[in-house]
Amino acid sequence: MSISLTPFINSWPFLLKAVWITLALSLASMGLGFAIGVVVGALRTYGGRACDLGLGFYVDTMRSIPLLVVLVWMYFAFPLLIGRSLDVMTAAIIGLGVHLGAYMAETIRAGLTSVRKGQMSAALALGMSRPQAIRTIILPQALIRMLPALGSLFVFAVKDSAIASVIAVPELLRQTQVVAGNTYRPFELYTAAMLVYFVLCFPVARIIDRIYRRVAYLGSS
Amino acid sequence: MNFDWDVVWTSLPRLLQGAEMTLWLAVVTMALAIPGGLVLAFMRLSGIRAFAFAATCFVEFFRATPLILQIYWVYYVLPAYFDIQFSQLSTAILGLTCNVSAFNSETFRSGIVSIRAGQWNAGRAIGMADGQIMWYIVLPQAVMRVLPALASTWVSLFKDTSLVSIISVADLSYVSLKIRSETYRILEVLSALAAIYWLMGYPQAKFVDWLHRRYKVAE
């Protein structure tokens, strides 16, 4: 078996661009997921029983349908329903974000409920409104406590973005397939892609844990 | 836009066959990945440097790379460069098992470590060997403790089996995508696909929540 580096020398700009798309896709879906997560998590915690049940249905649905199916449905079926086509990147961001949002919501709900009741009572006693208390008192503490969990969700977002290759988003896995197909060098290319994902994912959880140890005291009350 | 849902009913037998394959894959993978995860956890806790290092590398590697890429790697790289031939089904099971074993090993390890040292001391005090203590005292308690986490992994695994459709293993996703391209009834078939996963997965997710409430560790 011989290893050849020619595919990289010839196509590294192409692959590097794919790495950026992987990162952009992960960050965008993380952003959308976070927005969904904060709203759904807060409504499930403070919005009463009807909200909790309705949004719980969304969360559990996303927990039970594979991401692959969500993405394929979003890209191929959803446009038929709304009668206009979706560009592939948008479909991928929505699919990944809506899926991640459910997990984010659970994490945020756990963080919010972990803040003691006395904090809310104290905020209300100072004359704050409930939304104000959640925004300025409860959420900041909860976010700090959730930091490690958010770190692992980010790792999931990067790994899950590879599934978007199935609907031909030009991200790292997809472009690796393209180059591997053109050069007949699957070993070098898939192994390299593996290493890139490892380098993207492995340090993140560690760095966030380290940051967390430094700021953990801000979240304790 | 007109929809024709008949296609779902006429292809229902094939879809159910795919669903059966999905379930079978998840069961086989979990059956292999529980011993696999235990072995990795024991290696990491063994105190033997080389074993612990090898197991740590394996676990961190499989946890930090996408499963879909692992499946591609096993499928394209092993046969071409190491002269190992697997059927698609064995490739799928191999990829899934390595991945889930890595996650299980962390679950088991945290469970084993969470059992207080007093349990070991008590076992030694009544003359048990370390292996006996592990098997009769520590593991049974650890397993009860990690049951919810293990069940969560199961639910993820059940969904992740859909990724083997990319190497043409005839699971629910693969069968549905095939029916879609045969009939061009895209919305109907894909919605049926999502619905079948939902019907199978939703009760599981609820069951996991129940397990989490039932076996919550309170010390």
Q: What is the mean pLDDT of residues B103-122?
A: 93
Residue contact B76–A160, C-beta within 8 A: no
Confidence of residue A9 (pLDDT cuts 50, 70, 90): confident
Of A99, A102, A90, residue with least CA distance to A67 = A99
The answer to whether residues B173 and B18 touch, using CB atoms and an 8 Å cutoff, is: yes
Question: Roughly what angle, to the nearest 10 degrees, separates helices A48-64 and A88-114?
Answer: 130
The answer to whether residues B63 and B106 touch, using CB atoms and an 8 Å cutoff, is: yes
Rounded distance, CA A193 to CA A19, Å?
9
Question: What is the 8-class DSSP label of residue B171?
Answer: S
Question: Roughly what angle, to the nearest 10 degrees, separates helices A6-46 and A88-114?
Answer: 50
Segment holding B132, helix H or strand E: helix B130-132
Note whether residue A154 is domain-resident: yes
Q: Given B66, B77, B82, which is nearest A186 (Cβ)?
A: B77
Q: Given B60, B80, B201, which is nearest A186 (Cβ)?
A: B80
**The domain spanning residue A74 has which CATH number?**
1.10.3720.10
pLDDT at B6: 83
CA distance B124 to chain A (A): 36
Asked if B68 reaches chain A (Cβ–Cβ under 8 Å), the answer is yes
pLDDT at B82: 75
pLDDT at B24: 95
A158, closest residue in chain B (CA to CA):
B66
The answer to whether residues A100 and A29 touch, using CB atoms and an 8 Å cutoff, is: yes
CB contact residues (below 8 A), chain B span 160-199, against chain A: 160-163, 165-166, 173, 177, 180, 186-187, 190-191, 193-194, 197-198
pLDDT at A217: 85
Note whether residue A52 is domain-resident: yes
Rounded distance, CA A128 to CA A115, Å?
17
B152, closest residue in chain A (CA to CA):
A63
Tokens standing for A183?
A: 């050069």
Q: Given B64, B200, B202, which is nearest A201 (Cβ)?
A: B64
The answer to whether residues A111 and A65 touch, using CB atoms and an 8 Å cutoff, is: no
pLDDT at B218: 58
Q: Could you write out the DSSP letters of every residue in chain A?
A: -----HHHHHHHHHHHHHHHHHHHHHHHHHHHHHHHHHHHHHHHHHSHHHHHHHHHHHHHHHHHS-HHHHHHIIIIIHHHHHTS---HHHHHHHHHHHHHHHHHHHHHHHHHHHS-HHHHHHHHHTT--HHHHIIIIIHHHHHHHHHHHHHHHHHHHHHHHGGGGGGT--SHHHHHHHHHHHHT-HHHHHHHHHHHHHHHHHHHHHHHHHHHHHHGGGG--
If one counts every other C-beta atom within 10 angstroms of the C-beta of residue B48, the result is 11
**For chain B, domain boundaries:** 17-168
Residue contact B64–A155, C-beta within 8 A: yes
Q: Given A77, A155, A190, which is nearest B191 (Cβ)?
A: A77
Q: What is the mean pLDDT of residues A26-41?
A: 95
CA distance B121 to chain A (A): 32
Residue with tokens 């049974």: B140
Q: Given B66, B69, B190, which is nearest A73 (Cβ)?
A: B190
pLDDT at A1: 56
Q: What is the mean pLDDT of residues B59-68?
A: 94
Tokens standing for A192?
A: 């390299």
A8-47 b/e with 16+ CB inside 10 Å = b?
Answer: eeebeeebeebbebbeebbebbbebbbebbbebbbbbbbe
Rounded distance, CA A91 to CA A169, Å?
9
Confidence of residue A101 (pLDDT cuts 50, 70, 90): very high
Question: What is the 8-class DSSP label of residue B163?
Answer: G
Q: Given A65, A155, A162, which is nearest B69 (Cβ)?
A: A162
Note whether residue A201 is domain-resident: yes
User: In B, which residues are within 8 Å of A159 by CB distance?
Assistant: 64-67
CA distance A120 to chain B (A): 25
For residue B63, what are the CA distances in angstroms to A93, A187, A202, B99?
A: 23, 20, 8, 7
B202, closest residue in chain A (CA to CA):
A64
Residue contact B65–A66, C-beta within 8 A: no
Note whether residue A121 is domain-resident: yes
Query: Domain range holding A102?
Result: 6-219
Helix (H, G, I), strand (E, B) or coil at B31: helix
The count of domains in chain A is 1
- Given CA atoms A148, A153, A155, A156 in this order, what sign does their dihedral have? positive
pLDDT at A181: 86
Of A167, A162, A176, residue with least CA distance to A17 = A176
Report pLDDT digits (tens) over A151-192.
989 999 999 999 999 998 999 999 999 998 888 888 889 999
CATH node for B17-168: 1.10.3720.10
Residue contact B205–A64, C-beta within 8 A: yes
Rounded distance, CA B26 to CA B31, Å?
9
ipTM of the complex: 0.89
Q: What is the mean pLDDT of residues B194-205?
A: 94
pTM value?
A: 0.90
